[in-house]
Structure 1
Amino acid sequence: MTIRCIFHFAQAHDDFRLPELNSIAELHGITISWPPDEEEWDPAKPFWIVELQEEGHAVLLARRCILIRAIYHLYAHGDSYAAIFAQTTANAALWSQYIPSTTFRFKVSAYNHTIPQERQVAVVESFHFMDLKGKIAMRDPEIELAVWEEYDDWGAGSTRKRDDHDGEFKHIYFGRLIAEGTARSLIKKFDVKKRSFFGSTSMEAEISLLMANQTLASSGSMVYDPFIGTGSMAYTTAHFGAHFFGSDIDGRQMRGKGKTPGIMRAATQYGVEARIVDVCTFDVTRNPWRCGALFDAIVTDPPYGVRAGAKRLGRKNPEKRVDIRTAGREAHAADPCIPPTKPYELSHLVVDLILFARYMLKPNGRLVFFLPTVTDEYEELDIYDMLCDGMEVVANSLQDFGLWGRRVS
């Protein structure tokens, strides 16, 4: 028997909600479905009505999905309180077991609005027909009932009183809290500003956590980042239990200053140093890997011209004469040896990355990477044209910056 739930999402990265949800559901073998009798699904809405097989699945999703604030067991929803009361009465079988002695707390909130205290009290009292006989417990209640009023966005920066348009909601949701989204606390834990080692191009915590979830990182999985830089993806995937290997053409990005490599210092800060298999310096286009299914996932934020251009081994001008000996020693034996590099065109990099993933990923493995795009010029076919045989696009989410954006595929 399925249960209908309200998924309450954080108002951030709405294009990433469904890919993350589907990824974690696949990881745990959870079946997610949308009620056929509900209105057309809108991914940008903060509340989704979703069907799950059992409450335990909601708990697993709330513990892992970064964008979930809370999941509620749906008792009623509609555009008026009369509709809410009628549905709640009709669905008494869902909550009648709590009537005799269950301690409870009642929460009344709104999206895009602040409800005055007086009306919050009035809303709570309007549910007197439920006749809950247990004690009210503001701390550690056995159940928490919640009403959410959804309002239109009246416009950013508009001047109005907090209670203007109060009661002019477009929808109401009512249900019982199943689980709060505890995974969102990881955003503070992995905050780059608090990290012992980071660089100017280190990825923000929330995005790195979302990408880690899309890799299906879990205990025993092997994840690789061929453009690891300062290691943002290493810490989050390792936190979820994966073993991580990274490489970069510039070893200075990984080492930083000090005897202990910077990536390992930061990994120790997060308690995941044992899951960092190693980091190596090499050009991924001339990598030392044996061809074969080795990784469960490849995840990376390739360097690009907006912040830092990609490089590969070689010379910008191959015809230029170069003295390979310095003071009687060959250049590659110098200490330190910094090999010459040349620009790496992004389109070539992405094609090479996909081809590399084809041969290095295990069956059903995932390649998760950022692709910068110009918003007005992007077409969905662009990413499909790059695929190798046997590959499919699982998700294609946009982080929008206005004129340009970057897509996680």
Structure 2
Amino acid sequence: MRKYLVHYSQAHDSFRLPELTSIAELHGFGHTMKVTLPDDLPDGSRGSSTLEDSKPRTPRPFVIVELESEDQARVLAQRCILIKAVYELWAHAPSYSLLHERNQTPESRALWEPFKSTPFRMHVTAIHHAFPEGRVRQVIQSFAYMDYEHISLDNPGVVLFACEEYELRIGMRNKSEGDGEFMQVYFGRLVTEGTARQLITKFDVKKRAYYGNTSMEAEMSLLMANQAQAGPGKLIYDPFAGTGSMLYTSAFFGALVFGSDIDGRQMRGKVVSASDTSSLGIIRSASQYGVAHRILDCATFDITFNPWRRGGIFDAIVTDPPYGVRAGAKRIGSSIVGKPLSDVPRVVDNGIAAHTKSTYVPPMRPYEMSDLTLDLIEFARYMLKPGGRLVFFLPTVTEDYSELDVPECGGMKVVGNSIQDFGKWARRLITIERTMADNLEAQAPKFEDRAWRKREERAGREPTESNIHSDGKEEEHVPAHRDFREKYFQGFKKEESDVS
């Protein structure tokens, strides 16, 4: 096992580890990979903090990954969206004196001596700091004991890397203030730069042939595809396809994809020609990315009245449910909650059944977010293959969120929970893996209106000791995404009134 230094972009720090482990597992080395933070104790001895148990004041751009081969490091850099570069780590320390001492141990010498006769270039940089004039040369000269022979700035065979990591300091100061007071200095060899970040530009929504006001931004849709472990031979489904953002990225990584939505107009877009299916909105953009042949189909239906007749079909379900900031979730049903739909078709002009007309839109009512979340998880448990993944965004009111908000479901295990914070509200990318080995116990969900049923139950029962707090109020955990649309817009209107 060799140690590699992974350099991350300064964004979405809570997404890093789930993406890294997802791609490592996809390529078969997740069980051997070890990830730690590059910490040193005050006495210079090495720490062993993991990403889970270490919470620095500000997100750090580096992690150390132990891998079996350089090829594995290249796989991570070529697929992980958040990785800027990967280096073979030869030494790191809280000071240069200790760094040079460690770099001259037999273990480190065995790593860098094979490159002594290779033309080299050395890149010296710092995080959250600017070098004063002249000190870069001093740093380079301090490695003179390595006796590297040939410098080549234009065509080096090896690029050496030295980087000082400083704490993020806020406020006005001289750009070189605190020079030398770094947390760690790292030294090693560049293995590869991260190439996957270029895909953010490729899938930029503004450059897309077809998009809408709810289209997922490129970086997030790519992260979702990675969380879903999209790849050749995988079958992936988006039950809230909209304008297809998750379909394109999953298909780009080699998966076959299927999309559905309660509103087919979003998937179709403006049809240029009724006889030309390539003019459909999603197909236009898929053709732009060269993945139209991987779009199996897109169909219009409500997942609460879905056509699936068996489970265990999909390798992943990747979706962004409409949670109400720009478009609220809907389901087929009467606007009067609890009232069943009529079995008698509604007849319109000339005795024609309304549902046979191309312009027909079925009666719909709001789909409460907490109901949708639990339904989606139960639906995924039924539709996924063993080991398959459900990846979806969960909106939440920041100050009200708790870990209990992600519903527990037998046979399903949460393996990722990353936050994209917008202040008073946030959305969390939840990744849940199906651990159930077969479909004997997985039943198709009933898609009950739980919120309505609970209100009816409360109205018709007497309080008992088991459901009453000491203050006389009924005990029930209310997730932060319950009635999210109302909470969000109430807060937004209150902010507007406060400003005015």
With normalisation by structure 2, the TM-score equals: 0.78
Match in the other structure for 1:167: 180
1:373-388, aligned counterparts within 5 Å?
373-383=396-406, 386-388=407-409
One of 69, 73, 86 as aligned partner of 1:54: 69
1:1-400, aligned counterparts within 5 Å?
2-30=1-29, 31-34=32-35, 38-41=47-50, 42=54, 44-90=59-105, 91-99=108-116, 101-133=117-149, 135-155=150-170, 158-257=171-270, 258-259=272-273, 260-317=279-336, 318=339, 324-328=346-350, 329-383=352-406, 386-400=407-421
1:177 alignment partner, SS class: strand
1:95 alignment partner, SS class: helix
Q: Is the 8 A contact 2:221 2:249 kept in 1?
A: yes
Cα separation, partners in 2 of 1:320 and 1:362, compared to 1, 3 Å: closer
Cα separation, partners in 2 of 1:53 and 1:279, compared to 1, 3 Å: same
Q: CA deviation at 1:121?
A: 1.9
Q: CA deviation at 1:8?
A: 0.8
Inter-partner Cα distance in structure 2 for 1:187 and 1:359: 33
The superposition leaves residues 331-350 of structure 1 with CA deviations (integer Å, 9 ceiling, x where unpaired) of: 11223212121111011111
Q: CA deviation at 1:165?
A: 2.7
RMSD: 1.8
2:6 alignment partner, SS class: strand
Q: CA deviation at 1:35?
A: 6.3
Inter-partner Cα distance in structure 2 for 1:351 and 1:54: 41
One of 409, 413, 423 as aligned partner of 1:402: 423
Q: CA deviation at 1:323?
A: 8.9
1:392 alignment partner, SS class: strand
Q: CA deviation at 1:16?
A: 0.5
The superposition leaves residues 370-395 of structure 1 with CA deviations (integer Å, 9 ceiling, x where unpaired) of: 11111221111221xx2322111111
Q: CA deviation at 1:159?
A: 2.7
Choose between structure 1 and 2 for higher RCO, CA contacts under 8 A separated by at least 6 residues: 1
Larger radius of gyration: 2
Residue type at the aligned position of 1:32: M
Q: Is 37-46 or 362-371 further displaced after alignment?
A: 37-46
Q: CA deviation at 1:319?
A: 8.8
Q: Is 161-170 or 177-186 further displaced after alignment?
A: 161-170
Q: Is the 8 A contact 2:333 2:340 kept in 1?
A: no
Match in the other structure for 2:276: none
Residue type at the aligned position of 2:290: G
Q: Is the 8 A contact 2:120 2:151 kept in 1?
A: yes
Q: Is 344-353 or 107-116 further displaced after alignment?
A: 107-116
List runs of 5+ in structure 1 lacking aligned partners. Answer: none
Cα separation, partners in 2 of 1:185 and 1:364, compared to 1, 3 Å: same
Inter-partner Cα distance in structure 2 for 1:49 and 1:153: 20
Inter-partner Cα distance in structure 2 for 1:362 and 1:163: 55
- Runs of 4 or more above 6 Å deviation: 319-323
Q: Is 228-237 or 160-169 further displaced after alignment?
A: 160-169
Inter-partner Cα distance in structure 1 for 2:251 and 2:120: 38
List runs of 5+ in structure 2 lacking aligned partners. Answer: 38-45, 274-278, 431-500
1:213 alignment partner, SS class: helix
